Amino acid sequence: MTDLSTPNALELHHLSVAYRVGGRNRAVLRDLSLTIRPGEAYGLVGESGCGKSTVALSVVRYLPRNGVITAGEIALVGHNVMKLDNESLRRMRAESVSMVYQDPGKALNPSIRIGRQMTEIFELRGISDQAAVDQAISMLNRVRISDPIRVMQRYPHQLSGGMQQRVGIAMALASDPTMLILDEPTTGLDATVEAEVLDLIAKLRQELSASILFISHNLAVVSRMCDRVGVLYAGMLVEEGTTAEVFNNPRHPYTVALLRCLPRGGQRKDQIRLDTIPGFLPAPGATITGCPFADRCALADSRCHNELPPLHDLGGRLSRCHYHERAQDLPRTTPGSIAAAPAAHGREPVLRIKDLNKTYAAHGHALRAVNDVSLDLMPGQTLGLVGESGSGKTTFARLLLGLVPADSGGSMQLDGQPLASKLESRSADQVKAMQIVFQNPDSALNRAHSIRHIMGRALRTLAGLKGAAQQKRLIELVRSVRLTERHLSVKPRQLSGGLKQRVAIARAFAGDPRIVVCDEPTSALDVSVQAAILNLLADLQTKEHVSYIFISHDLAVVRYLSDHIAVLYLGRIMEIGPSERVFSGPHHPYTEALLSAVPKLDETEPSRVRLDGEIPSAVNPPSGCVFHTRCPRKIGAICEEQEPPLFDSEPEHRIRCHIPFEELARLQKKQEVIPA
Amino acid sequence: MTATDIKQPDLPAPPIKHSPAMEVVAALGRSGSFITGLVIVVFWVLCALFGEYFTPHDPLADDIINALMPPSADNWFGTDQLGRDVFSRVIVGSRDILTVAPLATLLATIAGTTLGLFTGYFRGLVDDVISRILEAFMAIPVVIVALLAIVALGTSKTTVIIVIGLSFAPIIARTVRSAVLSERELDYVAAAQLRRESALHTMFVEILPNVIPPILVETTVRLGYAIFAVATLSFMGFGIQPPSPDWGLSISSNYGMIGGGFWWTVLFDAFAIASLVIGVNLVADGVQGALND
């Protein structure tokens, strides 16, 4: 079928890769074959640990020292990569294949100016000084950097993350490669910046001829960017096909299960529990006799456990499942139904915040991280906080907890009692009433202590329990997050990310808190684990009647768990209201932009609104409406001169915008009717 | 679709991993420099403990008639100006240095760790004041501080231990402080604050176990310097006092003889000091490598 005159951009034939650990070869990739045609964008998805990055590293032969290719062949534009000597390998890396890494801040050399790093690439190809500079400028123009000369004089740390990634892409494209490998290129970026970078890559695809290998854990991003997609599991390709086919009509239970873990289409905690994938990915090097997914698959029978399914060819697509025709009948592993929601609770807010401010001193300037924030949190409800990084979400959470003291002037009330801004001045009951689940459990759990010690200490200090009573409650608590006593004796490093986060959640619940702040609790986790954690949080809320302040950059996750949403920008609340109203709109132009920046799996049309540039510095916020510098719906001078009030648009729904609510409704409605 | 009775993900066996301590021990076992260093150090420790039972002669017995004899079958390393057997003296000469130097290092580690925890944990004014004082101490050479203190307090092993211990403490404090500074940014410290743990609990129970590796490295490195410092002080007459067969002291009382060609009175003691310092440094090197892997 392929045109014989142009070789395929990349062909992997029965590739097996192992890492040598403790004197044993542990298989990471198993008999992996795939083909990327010229000009094609191929997405590789799967949970962490399934071998995605190893594929990328093998292709450019950058495997770590203990990595060995145990079998198979890699052909890059018709050349066998494994037979290249050092010189031709160097030439191949310089000329035909480029890589863009996840963390541009680490991929760029921090001590060399951008300009030098760019020209170096051209000089390697024998282009003289001045010509190299010119080419670098045109390359930066190409990645939509408007002022390349100034950017070239900077050091990487002087650029924002989005800008750094553009430079990374420009450098990757500088050699006009035939194969571009993108390894999680937008994972560390804000949704708005991610949208920009993805737009850029999509546009560059039309301008350049490069084929793309796009590696991501984010299914929605891959579905937006790629023509075809391969699903990797335990180092094996389990499904492959066009993006639309695989995501809309998956034929492998793993793909089916993965798609079900994502909160989609506005699912909410009071309607349904998310499905999860039981069990764990086989460890690297595990002996797999049958289907690698069999242990976690509800469809599996004895054949699946004993006989490795071949890659069935289903007419242009592949599935490694004995029962691919009924993959979608995969039963749910977590009941979707939920216990009846408890009756409405009292109408008195558990937490009432009024005019909360926080000013930091930054190099002699005042930096106002949180600006006049007022809100109420009702008992048993969740308030979602959204906004780009730098919008003050985390600072706000730390103010509530008393970890940083607020400026004087504002007030906080917990259950009607005044709440001091300093932790030391709070009563013991107030301290234990507010706890937090941190983003990164590795940092949140003391790695020197056993789980038993960590939990026991929390029960002793927060619940005042000792001895047998402590033991009893410890077991209860551990069971309530669905861990067992067996987990108590180990140290955090011996647990997986999801299990560690369960421990952190159990610790937060040790003193029967009234409010738990969840600061991006699932962003470090895989989707299947994320689903389990979200379910757990929702269940605990129903059972313990606790309120959450839920911070996340993932809007679908926030939507699933939140009753109310507050949208923050430069420390100000731009919009606040019941979750459904904020999401369904009409909404603040900033909310609108955030929502359309997120790639969605069910997306039918390209998103409409894009934000230009970066969030301005809080040291020197824009005059008037702080959002006017980036607002796609700016109406005129009034936006630059007057700060709009937080206006009651509908009952309980407030928006900080000069555009009247009805007008916003009209503008946002109109856009929906006319496809872009 | 109904829920099936598939096992929920609540019973994952904790993966079998070796404890961090076991991994470090295994890495040490693979480290050539650690093993070499350990063999040298253990050799001298055994000599210090049991050497007196094996020495061919009494290391303290004078024999003026046979003074300054060159190495021979009877006196392998020759004899010194009082006719004492150099070989026997070298064998037991590590006794004092191997009590004084480790005790001084231990004192430095305890004091330095405590100071480092306080400065790193409290930061701010506490850090500023203590750190400036420590820096001022570090600006003065150890030997000068030691000389002044010993002149003021009188010569004794205890004085030497205290002087060397306290002058090394600021260096260890600085290492511990920087480790604590990055450690206290981790969320488990915030979690401890949210449980209202006392500062002492947070410092010594939460943070300390996590900064043990840099402390261990610094301690072994300091031990090498401490041996060096004790030998130097003994050589200058302010450390270990006669009639101990201490190496530094022996060199000090015999180095005038080198001009007369009596090299054996000094050379073997010098080699002994060098080998012990090198041995300790090799151990330190191995420890550092194993902990940083």
* Domains of chain A, residue spans: 10-226, 253-329
Q: Which residues of B touch A434 (CB under 8 A)?
A: 194
Are B9 and A486 within 8 A, CB to CB?
A: no
Residue A339: pLDDT band by 50, 70, 90 thresholds? low
pLDDT of the residue at A675: 40
From the list A448, A494, A498, the residue facing B209 with the nearest CB is A448
Give the residue-averaged pLDDT of A495-518: 92
Tell me the pLDDT tens digit for each residue of A285-294: 888 888 999 9
Nearest to A45, CA basis, from A222, A234, A249: A222
Instruction: Tell me which chain A residue has its CA closest to the CA of residue B15.
Output: A494
pLDDT of the residue at A351: 94
Are B3 and A401 within 8 A, CB to CB?
A: no
Q: Which residues of B touch A428 (CB under 8 A)?
A: 196
pLDDT of the residue at A207: 84
C-alpha separations of A409 from A357, A364, A491, B75 in Å: 8, 22, 44, 87
Contact A77, A7 (CB under 8 A): yes
Are A423 and B6 within 8 A, CB to CB?
A: no
Q: Which residues of A touch B209 (CB under 8 A)?
A: 446, 448-449
Are A436 and B194 within 8 A, CB to CB?
A: yes
Joined tokens for residue A475: 């077991």
Are B6 and A446 within 8 A, CB to CB?
A: no
Tell me the pLDDT tens digit for each residue of A203-235: 888 888 889 999 998 898 999 899 999 999 999
Residue A345: pLDDT band by 50, 70, 90 thresholds? low
- The answer on pLDDT for B120 being more than 90 is yes
Judge: domain B97-239, CATH 3.40.50.720. Answer: no
Q: Give the mutation candidate from B2, B194, B210 for the A interface (greatest A CB count, under 10 A).
A: B194
Give the residue-averaged pLDDT of B153-178: 91
Give how far B133 is from chain A: nearest CA, Å.
27
pLDDT of the residue at B11: 41
Interface residue B6 vs chain A (CB under 8 A): yes
pLDDT of the residue at A209: 82
Q: Which H, E and C letters describe A245-276, residue by residue? A: HHHHCCCCHHHHHHHHHCCCCCCCCCCCCCCC
More confidently predicted of B237 and B113: B113
Are B187 and A443 within 8 A, CB to CB?
A: yes
Rounded Cα distance, A459 and A228, in Å: 51
Give how far A431 is from chain B: nearest CA, Å.
7
- Sorted by sequence, the CB contacts under 8 Å of residue A255 that are 6+ apart come out as A231, A238, A239, A246, A327
Joined tokens for residue B193: 């604050």
Are B7 and A278 within 8 A, CB to CB?
A: yes
Give the residue-averaged pLDDT of A543-560: 91
- The answer on pLDDT for B191 being more than 90 is yes
- Sorted by sequence, the CB contacts under 8 Å of residue B276 that are 6+ apart come out as B40, B41, B44, B94, B97, B227
How many A-B residue pairs are in contact by the CB < 8 A criterion?
98
- The answer on pLDDT for A188 being more than 90 is no
Rounded Cα distance, A339 and A342, in Å: 9
Residue B12: pLDDT band by 50, 70, 90 thresholds? very low
Joined tokens for residue B261: 């060609």
| pTM, entire model | 0.86
From the list A423, A438, A494, the residue facing B193 with the nearest CB is A423
Segment among B2-6, B120-124, B217-221 with least mean pLDDT: B2-6
Q: Angle, to 10 degrees, between the axis of helix B264-292 and the axis of helix B32-50?
A: 130
Nearest to A58, CA basis, from A13, A106, A91, A94: A13
pLDDT of the residue at A389: 83
Q: Give the mutation candidate from A446, A482, A502 for the B interface (greatest B CB count, under 10 A).
A: A446
From the list A336, A445, A486, the residue facing B188 with the nearest CB is A445
Interface residue B11 vs chain A (CB under 8 A): yes
Give how far B188 is from chain A: nearest CA, Å.
4
Q: What type of residue sits at position B278?
A: I
Residue A608: pLDDT band by 50, 70, 90 thresholds? low
Give how far B20 is from chain A: nearest CA, Å.
10
Instruction: Tell me which chain B residue has its CA closest to the CA of residue A300.
Output: B6
Rounded Cα distance, A653 and A563, in Å: 12
Rounded Cα distance, A655 and A576, in Å: 7
Q: Reduced to 3 states, what is the DSSP secondary structure of residue A45?
A: strand
Give how far A529 is from chain B: nearest CA, Å.
10
Q: Give the mutation candidate from B186, B188, B196 for the A interface (greatest A CB count, under 10 A).
A: B188
From the list A333, A447, A482, the residue facing B4 with the nearest CB is A333
Give the residue-averaged pLDDT of A273-283: 85
Residue A35: pLDDT band by 50, 70, 90 thresholds? very high
pLDDT of the residue at A13: 93
DSSP letter at A622 equals: P
Are A457 and B2 within 8 A, CB to CB?
A: no
CA dihedral B256, B262, B266, B271 (to 10 degrees): 150
More confidently predicted of A551 and A364: A551
Question: Could you tell me which CATH number the domain at A10-226 has?
Answer: 3.40.50.300
CB-count burial class (<10 Å; 0-12, 13-18, 19+) for B91: buried
Give how far A484 is from chain B: nearest CA, Å.
7
Interface residue B21 vs chain A (CB under 8 A): no
Helices (DSSP H) in chain B: which residue ranges?
20-30, 32-50, 86-92, 97-122, 124-139, 142-153, 157-183, 187-194, 199-201, 212-235, 247-254, 264-292
Give how far B222 is from chain A: nearest CA, Å.
25
Looking at chain A, the number of H-run helices and the number of E-run strands are 24, 24
- The answer on pLDDT for B93 being more than 70 is yes
Rounded Cα distance, B219 and B212, in Å: 10
pLDDT of the residue at B13: 47
pLDDT of the residue at B7: 40
From the list B14, B187, B209, the residue facing A487 with the nearest CB is B14
Give how far A518 is from chain B: nearest CA, Å.
13
Give the residue-averaged pLDDT of A478-506: 89
Q: Angle, to 10 degrees, between the axis of helix B20-30 and the axis of helix B264-292?
A: 140
Contact A477, A495 (CB under 8 A): no
Joined tokens for residue A364: 């002699």
Q: What phi-psi label fits residue A218: left (phi over 0), alpha (psi between -120 and 50 degrees) or beta?
A: beta
Are B17 and A283 within 8 A, CB to CB?
A: no
Q: Which residues of A touch B19 (CB under 8 A)?
A: 491
Give how far B76 is from chain A: nearest CA, Å.
47
- Taking the alpha carbons of A89, A90, A95, A100 in that order, is the dihedral positive or negative? positive
Q: What type of residue sits at position B209?
A: P
Rounded Cα distance, B119 and B122, in Å: 6
Give the residue-averaged pLDDT of B61-83: 82
pLDDT of the residue at B17: 55
- Domain range list for chain B: 32-63+74-93+241-293, 97-239
Residue B215: pLDDT band by 50, 70, 90 thresholds? very high
From the list A335, A438, A461, the residue facing B187 with the nearest CB is A438
Interface residue B65 vs chain A (CB under 8 A): no
Q: What type of residue sits at position A57?
A: L
